[in-house]
Chain A
Amino acid sequence: MCLAALLGLFASCSFDGSSSSDTTPSIVVTYSAIGDVVSRLVGDAATVTVLIPNGQDQHDFMPSAQDVETINNASLVVSNGLDLEEGLEDSLLQAEKSGVAMFHIADHVTLLDAAAKDEAAGAEKEVGHDHGTEDPHVWLDPETLAEAIPALAEALKLATGKDFTAEATAVVGELTALSAKVRDIMTTVDACKLVTGHDSLGYFAARYGCTVIGAVIPGFSTAAEASAGSLADLKDVAKENGVKAIFTELGTPADVAAQIAKEVGVDVVELSTHVLPENGGYDDMMTQLATAIAGGLS
């Protein structure tokens, strides 16, 4: 009896699965900022599911069983790559092995590496972060993100059978316009020197003429811990450079940031670098980010 019921359940599940994938292709995107851009690209041609709930740290997120099912049933999975989604890594790899199509944004853009960034910033003393690894925070510069759009349109075509060339051109145009808007906001800042929660604003800084002075957690992930030495260095460098704010983000140890800001004598300003604003999309996130940075530095 139980067995029969169980079999019935399985049958109905697999039936549901196949029927939904037959009608509209399912595109799974790992996090919300990219999800918004992908939605604009595909319109009604596919359903777009964002795995990591908006508000959670991409670096920390662990998938539920249902999330893994969603990945495995996807026509295409769009992820950031470069270890951004640390907790999803294994599930994505398994899905790829079993034949699920994957698109990693980071494979299709010009990457900044840590060494180049340090040179650009002239930072000799920034210690503790993994040199040689590359910065995954590509979405924080719309122009870098735009580089991946044509290739993404190709991948979507393979997955859904529909052509998105026109949409891709439109989205690239939108991202370029957004970048101009961000640049306009950033021109109001004289000396854009950034101290952030973790090393997240490399692409933003490179594009809009900022210098990353340091981070509370020196590294591309929020999962590491600050040390007394790195914080003391950060404090000194921040004072020397006359930074005007300590910017915190999702996953920044708030008490530590507050203590450093107090000693440097500046305010803590919260930035939304990994999360979309409430009722807002990627464009709002970027303009609000630029506005918050400009406001914090004025």
Chain B
Amino acid sequence: MGNFFFGPFVDNEFLRQSLYAGILVSAICAVAGTFVVLRGLAFTGDALAHGVVPGVAAALLFGFSGVLGAAIGAGVMMSGVSVVTRRYRLSGDTAIGLLFVGMLALGVIIQSRSESFAGDLTNILFGEVLGVSNSDLMWQFIALVAVCVVAWLCRRPFLLLSVDDGLTETSGFSVKKYHNIMLAMVALTVVASFQTVGTLLVLGLLIAPAATGALFARRIGIMMVVAAVVGIFSTYVGLLVSYHANVAAGASIVFCSVLVFTACAVVVEVQRWQAHRKDIHHDHDQPHVHGHVHVS
């Protein structure tokens, strides 16, 4: 039995590397994803993930580092999103949608005329979780530290932004400034994660574990811990499924994280229903489990 669960990782170094990368990416995504979920930035996160596609494609075409290309792509996407939403009276999701699809299309156009040996769109979109090198792990570790430092330094304004923009302003923090810092943190997360799970699937690890955390926890720190645990568990199970069932690894990981969220949501729903029944019978002797964030 132990062989079934641990054998693949003991026998295969490449799978251990994948697991390490998954752990690092899960931790980064847990920190950034919690704010993404609380502030409702899922679509922006997705747009940032696709913003890196033309950057990476151009990097492969002109022969510079893919990570640098991704960072440039995410930067362009970020400034695009904030300019379009501020200048024009379009709702945020329309502006983000436009930039998102525009950047993705540009990426495909660049890639379609690239004659690079490694310029494979499949690898950009779905990642190479089974080919993680030590230097990839090192960069992901540095990104994890950076994301944690940003989140710690900005913990109070980020928390306020997660509740209400007005409250943030009255507490003396610039909404614009901290919103942009938050976007930069999400962009860094995407750049650090896309090589492992790909630009299409990175959103799964960014929001599914964090959303699971938000189901159970009130405090942001605990949400992040739950999210990291869910992400790491999903990585482990996803790799195991990819091993035993011979299916694509990155997609298995992300699918697993969404399944975990769904299962937890069902559990929470059932608990809520039972609590509600108790409420009726015992006349409110139990507090409600409706979600709200403690500002502390």
A225 to B248, CA, bound (A): 6
Residues of chain A with a CB closer than 8 A to B283's CB: none
Is B120 a contact of A60 with CB atoms below 8 Å? Answer: yes
Nearest A residue to B120 via CB reads A251
Is B120 a contact of A253 with CB atoms below 8 Å? Answer: yes
Is B118 a contact of A228 with CB atoms below 8 Å? Answer: no
Residues of chain A with a CB closer than 8 A to B128's CB: 253-256
Q: Is B18 among interface residues, defined by CB-CB distance under 8 A?
A: yes
Nearest A residue to B238 via CB reads A228
**Most A C-beta atoms less than 10 A away, residue of B11, B249, B251:** B249
Q: Is A229 among interface residues, defined by CB-CB distance under 8 A?
A: yes
Is A250 a contact of B126 with CB atoms below 8 Å? Answer: no
| Complex partner residue of B130 from A53, A222, A256, CB under 8 angstroms | A256
Q: Is B133 among interface residues, defined by CB-CB distance under 8 A?
A: yes
Q: Is A82 among interface residues, defined by CB-CB distance under 8 A?
A: no
Residues of chain B in range 233-253 having any CB-CB distance to chain A below 8 Å: 239, 242-251
Q: Is B121 among interface residues, defined by CB-CB distance under 8 A?
A: yes
Q: Is B131 among interface residues, defined by CB-CB distance under 8 A?
A: yes
**Most B C-beta atoms less than 10 A away, residue of A127, A228, A257, A262:** A228
- Interface pick from A33-41, A182-190, A230-238: A230-238
Residues of chain B in range 179-224 having any CB-CB distance to chain A below 8 Å: 195
Is B249 a contact of A255 with CB atoms below 8 Å? Answer: no
Interface size class of A (residues with CB under 8 A): 20 to 34
Q: Is A286 among interface residues, defined by CB-CB distance under 8 A?
A: no
Q: Is B296 among interface residues, defined by CB-CB distance under 8 A?
A: no
**Most B C-beta atoms less than 10 A away, residue of A53, A57, A232, A251:** A232
Is B132 a contact of A128 with CB atoms below 8 Å? Answer: no
Nearest B residue to A62 via CB reads B112
Q: Is A55 among interface residues, defined by CB-CB distance under 8 A?
A: yes
Residues of chain B with a CB closer than 8 A to A116's CB: none
Is A260 a contact of B115 with CB atoms below 8 Å? Answer: no
Q: Is A298 among interface residues, defined by CB-CB distance under 8 A?
A: no
A231 to B16, CA, bound (A): 13
Is A232 a contact of B133 with CB atoms below 8 Å? Answer: no
Q: Is B13 among interface residues, defined by CB-CB distance under 8 A?
A: yes
How many inter-chain residue pairs (CB < 8 Å) link A and B?
101
Is A229 a contact of B117 with CB atoms below 8 Å? Answer: no
With A254-B131, A259-B131 known as contacts, the answer to whether A60 contacts B12 (CB < 8 A) is: no
B-contact 0/1 string along A41-78, CB 8 Å cutoff: 00000000000011111001010100000000000000
Q: Is B257 among interface residues, defined by CB-CB distance under 8 A?
A: no
With A227-B247, A232-B243, A253-B128 known as contacts, the answer to whether A258 contacts B133 (CB < 8 A) is: yes
| Complex partner residue of B14 from A56, A60, A222, A259, CB under 8 angstroms | A259
Nearest A residue to B249 via CB reads A228
Residues of chain A with a CB closer than 8 A to B246's CB: 127-128, 227, 229-230
Q: Is A223 among interface residues, defined by CB-CB distance under 8 A?
A: yes
Q: Is A226 among interface residues, defined by CB-CB distance under 8 A?
A: yes
Residues of chain A with a CB closer than 8 A to B243's CB: 227-229, 232
| Complex partner residue of A255 from B116, B132, B242, CB under 8 angstroms | B132
A127 to B242, CA, bound (A): 13
With A227-B242, A255-B132, A259-B132 known as contacts, the answer to whether A270 contacts B117 (CB < 8 A) is: yes
A60 to B13, CA, bound (A): 30
Residues of chain B with a CB closer than 8 A to A232's CB: 8, 11-12, 15, 243
- Where chain B touches its partner, the secondary structure class is helix
Is B122 a contact of A223 with CB atoms below 8 Å? Answer: yes
A85 to B243, CA, bound (A): 30
A81 to B18, CA, bound (A): 37
With A227-B248, A227-B249, A253-B120 known as contacts, the answer to whether A258 contacts B131 (CB < 8 A) is: yes
Residues of chain A with a CB closer than 8 A to B13's CB: 259, 262-263
Residues of chain B in range 74-121 having any CB-CB distance to chain A below 8 Å: 112-118, 120-121
A263 to B248, CA, bound (A): 20
Is B132 a contact of A225 with CB atoms below 8 Å? Answer: no
Residues of chain A with a CB closer than 8 A to B239's CB: 228
| Complex partner residue of A260 from B14, B242, B244, B245, CB under 8 angstroms | B14
Residues of chain B in range 2-41 having any CB-CB distance to chain A below 8 Å: 8, 11-15, 17-18
Residues of chain B with a CB closer than 8 A to A257's CB: 131
Residues of chain A with a CB closer than 8 A to B195's CB: 255
CB distance from A277 to the nearest CB of B (A): 13
Nearest A residue to B123 via CB reads A253
CB distance from B292 to the nearest CB of A (A): 41
A192 to B14, CA, bound (A): 26
A250 to B117, CA, bound (A): 6
Is B14 a contact of A235 with CB atoms below 8 Å? Answer: yes
Nearest A residue to B247 via CB reads A227
- In addition to A60-B122, A223-B122, 19 A-B residue pairs with Cβ atoms within 8 Å of each other are A53-B113, A53-B115, A227-B246, A228-B130, A228-B239, A229-B243, A231-B130, A232-B243, A235-B14, A255-B133, A255-B136, A255-B195, A256-B14, A256-B128, A256-B131, A258-B133, A263-B13, A263-B14, A270-B117
Task: Sort A-B residue pairs by CB-CB distance and give the 10 closest, nearest first.
Answer: A255-B131, A55-B115, A256-B131, A228-B242, A228-B243, A225-B248, A229-B246, A259-B14, A255-B128, A229-B243
Which residues from chain B sit less than 8 Å from chain A, CB to CB? 8, 11-15, 17-18, 112-118, 120-123, 126, 128, 130-133, 136, 195, 239, 242-251
Q: List 18 A-B contacts (CB under 8 A).
A: A53-B115, A56-B115, A62-B112, A226-B248, A227-B245, A227-B247, A228-B130, A229-B246, A232-B11, A232-B243, A251-B120, A253-B122, A254-B118, A256-B130, A256-B131, A259-B17, A259-B132, A270-B117
